[in-house]
Structure 1
Amino acid sequence: MRRTTAAAGESAALAEEFEKWLGDPELATNSVSFRRGLELDELDELPADGIDQVRAFGFSRYFVPESLGGELRTTEDILMLTRVLARRDMNVAVSESTQVWTMLAWIAGDAEQRAKTAATQLRGGMVPCLAYSENGHGADLAGNEFTAVPDAGQYVLTGEKWPINRGRTSTHVVVLGTTGDADTPAKRQQSLFLVDREQIVSGTVAGVPRVPTYGLRGCDISGVAFDHVRVDASARLGAEGEGLELALRGLLVTRTFCTGLSLGTGDTMLRTVGGFLAGRQLYGGPAGDIPYVTESLAGAYLSLLVAECESLVAMRGLHLYTEEFSIWGNLAKVQAARLVDTSAKVLARALGARYFMRAPEHAGMFQKMLRDGAVVSVFDGSEPVCLDSIALQLLAMAKAHTQPRDEDWSTLYDLRAPLPAFDPARVSVFGRGRDATFASLPALIARLAGTAATDGCPESRLAALRESAEELRRDLDALYERAGEIRRSPAARTPQPSETAKTTSPRLIRVAEELCSLHAKVAALGIWLYNRDHLDAFFADGTWLAAALAREEIHRYDAGDLDPVAARQLLDRMTAQRDGNELFSLRTVRLADPGTPQAGGDTGPAVA
C-alpha cells in the first residue's frame, strides 16, 4: 500500500493512515492488538499474522529511498511508523524493524547492489538480520572470530553470530567477517557482507536455537551459523577492510531510529496507567486526583514530550547535519530511552499492585511494555557503549564548542520547514566534535531574548525561561571544562594495571551522561521557539518547557518537584489527548477510532 492522501508528505498523516490500517489495538480480533500480543507473548511465539498485516501496508517501502523507487522521503516517516507499531506490540515492531538494516546498502553499496537490494525489498522479499555480535565478544566487534576468507573472486564465510534478532527467520544476513591477517591493522581486519541465504554458492547457513528472554518473548532472538559458506565477491559492501567503520556508520543511523520504539512504548505505558487510574475511585474520589498520582502522571507526560523533541530534532538533523551523528546518534538514543525508562518506574509505583499482574488486561499490557521497552537501551549498542563513544569524543566536542557557528537554525527546529533528501552515505564516524543542537544554543538564547510576552506566556515566564537558557549555557561550558580537568588529572595520565583496551574514565562517562540531559533540554527549547506561533495554546504558553528546563537532570523527577499548577495543566492536557483518542504528542495525531477493524478485510485468529 502506498500513500495516496493529499498530505502524503506529512509524517503525522502517514501515522494516522497506518493507525487506520492496523485498526484499534483494543479490538482483540485485530492482528496487532493488545490481547493478541499478550497471548503470543505467553506462548513465546513470533507474531506472524501481525507481521503480515504490517507488510501488507508496505512498511518496508519506507526504508527504501525515493531515488530507488521507495517511499523514504523523510526519516520522520520511519519515526512515526515505528511509534504507531511499538505502541501496539514491540514483538511486531522489533521483528519488522530489521528492514532498517538495508540502510547499509544505501551507505556502502555500489549502484548495482543498491538497485538489487531495493528491488528485493520493494517486492517484500527481504527479511534482513544484523549479524555482528558473537557469544564470546558481545559489543567488542574488533574481537570477533567469524572469518571471511578471500578465494578466487569469492569469499568463504565461517563462524557463528549470537545473539541477534531474526537469526533463524531472516532471508538476508548483514554480517561482519575477518578478511585481514595478523599484519593488518585491527581496525581494517573486517569486512561487511550482505548475504542472500538463497544465493550462496556452497556450504550451509543454519539458525542457532532461540534464546529465552524476559522481554520480547515473541521475537526471534537467536543466532546464525555459517559453515564454509561460499559467496560471490559482490556480496561484500564497501571495500575490503571497511567493515568496522561501515558497521558503526549504520549504527549511528539506527540508534537514532530506536527513539521511535521508546516513544511508542512510553505512550502505551502512560495511556494504560492514566486510563486505569482515571476510572478508579479511591478515598472518595478519582485516583487521578490524588496529588501524588497527579504529579506522577504529569511528570511522565512531560518526559514523553521532551523525548519527542529530542527525537524530532535528531530526525531532522539526519537530513541537515548527517556528518555530525558520531555524537548525535548516541546522545539521542541514550536520552530518549532514559526519559521513558525512568517514567516507567514512576508509573509502576503509581499503578501499585496491578504492576505485577499478568492478566490479559490493561495492567498486564503495562507489564509487557515495561519488559519489552527496556531492551531499547540495549539495542544497536548498549547505553554504556553509547556513553563511552560520547566520552571518547569529549575533547573534540570541547574544541568545536569554542568555534561559533553562524547558521540559520530554523530548518532544524521548525517542523513545517521542508527538508532535503536523506542521504545515509554522508554519515561519518568522524564528526570532529560537531553537534548542531549544542551549536545552536547561542542563537536560541538570542531568539528567546527577543521573544515578546503573550496572554498565555507572560513576561514572568519568559524571564524564567531566559534564566534557564542561560543556565544551560553555563552548564555546557562547565561540563567541557570538567572534561578537560579530568583528562589533565594525574590519575588520567597514569596508566592503571589492566589487560583491557577499554580504559575510559567513569568520570568522563558521567560527563557524557550529563551532556545527554543538556542535549534534550536544548532540543526542547529549539522546538518551542520555532513552533510556538502555529501549534496550540498548551504548547505556546511554555509551562511544560519551563518545567522541563527546571529539572536538574531531564529524565529524573521526584515527588514535589512539579509546581501543582503545572502538574494539573500537564495532566489535563494528557487527559484531553487520551479522551480525544490522540497520540501523546506536541502535535495532533489521531489514533484509530475505537472498534475499528484492521484494513484488508482479514483479522487475526479468534482470541479465547
Structure 2
Amino acid sequence: MDYSLDEEQDAFRTEVRRFAEKVLAPHYQSDDKAAEFRRQLALDMAGLGLTGLRIPEEYGGQAATAVIAGLAAEEVGRADFNATYVIINTALISDVIVRNATDEQKAAWLPGIADGTTVPCICITEPGHGTDAASLELKAVPDGDGWKLQGEKTSITLGMAADRAVVLARTGGPGARGVSAFWVDLGHESVGRAAFDDLGSRAIGRASLHFDGTPVTRADLIGNEGDGFVSVMQGFDYSRAIIGLACLGAAQASLDEATQWARDREAFGQPIGKFQGVAFPLAEHATYITGARHVCLEALWKKDNDLEHSAEAAMAKFWAPKLSVDVIHQCLLTLGHLGYSTESPVGQRLRDVIGLEIGDGTAQVSKLVISRDLLGRAYAP
C-alpha cells in the first residue's frame, strides 16, 4: 500500500496551490462582499484546466482522474473556498454528460464547459422536495416533438450566474423512473431567477429558478427519457468526496494560520503553543483532518478503479464538512480577536463551509447510506 502521491499528482497539486494563492486568494473576501459571481473566475480556472478536469481531451478537457479532481478542490479550497463550486459543478455535470449524452451532444456542450465560457449548474431541489428528490414536481409538458418545462427549482448553486443547467423534470409517472434530464438554456426569456441572501458563500449566487413554459427538444434530452434521475444520482457519490476535500482545504488553511499564531503569539513570557490548552486542540484537529482526507481520497481512488464507493463517499460527505466547521471554529478561537475580525478570512470560511453541511446531501442521508452498507438493507433504516 502506497500512501504517497505519484510524481504527476504531486506536481499538479503544487501547480494548483501556486495558482490559487496568486490568482484566487486575493478575491476571496472581496467577492463575498460583492455577493456576486465573477465571470473572470471561471475563465481564470479554465486557463489551468480546472473547469475541464473530467472532460475527455477530444472535447478540450484534461481527462483527469477523480483523485486529481479532488486534489484540485482541496488546494483551491485553501485559497478561495467558493471557487471550489466551479470544480464541483463542472466535474459532476461533465461526468453526467460524458456517461449519458450522444457524441453530437458532447461535441456541442463540453467544450464550452472546458474553456470556461459556459458556466453550468444542476437543478434538482424544489421548494417541496430536497432529500426526497425522486418526488420532484417540475413538469416537462409534451409540446410537439419536445416539451415545455413548468415549475420551480430552488437552492441552486450558481443559479444567478449559470448559462446552462442540467434540469431534472417529470416526463412520466411518479417516482424516479418518471424523471428525465435536460440540458437547458437559462438565457431563455421564460426562465426567471431570484437570488438568496445567504449567511455564507455569497459569491456563488444561490438562487431559485422559475421555468414558465421553457422549451426543450429531444436534442436537449440527456440519455433516455425516464433515466434522468438515476443517471444524475450516479455522479453524486464521487462528487461528495470532492466536496469533502474542498471543505478540508478551508479547514487546513485555518489550521495552518492558527498553528503559526501559536508560535508567534506570546503570553506569560512564552509562545502560547507551549500551553496544552492551545496545543492539544490543534493536535486533535490535525489528526481528524488527516483521517477525513484519507476517507475522501479512498472514495475517489475507488471511483477511478471502478469499485463500489457509495459508503466511503457518504462518510466523506457527512464527516468532512462537519469536521471542517469544528476545525475552523477552534482556529478562530485560537486566533482570538484577530480571528473574529472581518479582516481575517477565518470567519468567512466558517460561514461558507457550514453551507455544505446542508447542500448536496444532508448528514442524515449519508448516515442512512452508511448504515445500509454496514448492516445490510434488511437490518438498517
TM-score, scaled to structure 1: 0.58
Q: CA deviation at 1:111?
A: 2.7
Question: 1:249 is matched with which residue?
Answer: 234
Q: What residue is the counterpart of 2:121 in the other structure?
A: 129
8 A contact 1:272–1:365 mirrored in 2 = no
One-letter amino acid of the structure 2 residue matched with residue 80 of structure 1: L
Distance 1:313 1:8, change over 3 A: closer
Q: Is 1:222 matched with 2:214?
A: no
CA gap 1:315/1:357 in 2 versus in 1, 3 angstroms? same
Unaligned runs of 5+ in 2: none
Q: Quick one: structure 1 residues 52 and 276, their matched pair in 2 at CA, closer, same or farther if it must change by over 3 Å?
A: farther
Q: Which residue of 2 aligns with 1:295?
A: 280
Q: Percent identity among equivalent residues?
A: 24
How many angstroms does 1:165 deviate by? 0.8
* Equivalent residue for 1:79, pick from 70, 78, 82: 70
Which of 337, 345, 348 is the equivalent residue of 1:368? 348
SS class of match (1:124): coil
Tell me the residue number matched to 1:109.
101
Find 1:379's aligned residue among 354, 359, 367: 359
Contact 2:250/2:349 (8 A) holds in 1 = yes
Are 2:334 and 1:350 equivalent residues in the alignment? yes
Give the SS at the match of 1:150: strand
2:45·2:116 contact (CA, 8 Å) conserved in 1?
Answer: no
Structure 1 residue 197: deviation in Å?
Answer: 3.8
Change (3 A) 1:154 1:8: farther
Q: Which is further off, 138-147 or 389-398?
A: 389-398
SS at match of 1:46: coil
**2:12 maps to 1:14:** yes
Amino acid at match of 2:335: L
Using the size of structure 2 for normalisation, the TM-score is: 0.90
State the 1:9 CA deviation. Answer: 6.8
* 1:38 is aligned to 2:24: no
- d(CA) in 2 for partners of 1:185, 1:380: 22
Q: In the aligned structure 2, how far is the partner of 1:150 from the partner of 1:8?
A: 51
Residue 316 of structure 1: how far off its partner (Å):
0.9
Change (3 A) 1:110 1:395: farther
Amino acid at match of 1:38: Q
1:389 maps to 369
- Secondary structure of 1:72's aligned partner: coil
Distance in 2 (alpha carbons) for counterparts of 1:9 and 1:194: 37
| 8 Å contact from structure 2 (residues 244, 296) kept in 1 | yes
Alignment of structure 1 residues 321-340 onto 2, 5 Å: 321-322=306-307, 324-340=308-324
Corresponding residue to 1:240 among 225, 236, 240: 225
Matches within 5 A, 1:146-545: 146-180=138-172, 184-197=173-186, 204-206=190-192, 208-322=193-307, 324-358=308-342, 360=343, 364-396=344-376, 484=379, 504=381
2: CA distance, partners of 1:126 / 1:20: 25
CA drift at 1:312: 1.8
Q: In terms of Rg, which structure is larger?
A: 1
Shift of 1:96: 5.0
Unaligned runs of 5+ in 1: 1-6, 25-30, 399-483, 488-503, 505-608
| Partner amino acid, structure 2, of 1:19 | R
Checking the alignment, whether the CA contact within 8 Å between 2:35 and 2:202 is kept in structure 1 is yes
Give the 3 Å change call, closer, same or farther, for CA 251–269 of structure 1 in structure 2: same
Partner residue of 2:50?
59
Distance, in Å, in 1 between the alignment partners of 2:74 and 2:110 is 24
What does the per-residue CA deviation read over 1:86-142, in whole Å, with 9 as the maximum and x for residues that have no partner? 111122222453212222112222332233332332343321101101122222213
The structure with the largest strand share of the pair is 2
Give the partner amino acid of 2:368: D
Distance 2:366 2:106 in 1: 29
* Secondary structure at the counterpart of residue 71 of structure 1: coil
> Larger relative CO (CA 8 A, sep 6+): 1 or 2?
1
Letter in 2 for 1:175: V
Q: Which residue of 2 aligns with 1:90?
A: 81
Structure 2 counterpart of 1:108, which letter? N
Q: Which amino acid aligns with 2:190?
A: T
Q: Displacement, 1:335?
A: 2.5
- Given the superposition, is the C-alpha separation of residues 69 and 32 from structure 1 closer, same or farther in structure 2, using an over 3 Å criterion? closer
Cross-structure match for 1:444: none
Output the amino acid matched with 1:13.
A
Query: How many residues of Structure 1 are paired with residues of Structure 2 in the alignment?
Result: 376
User: CA contact under 8 A between 1:104 and 1:246: conserved in structure 2?
Assistant: yes
CA distance in 2, matches of 1:195, 1:125: 15
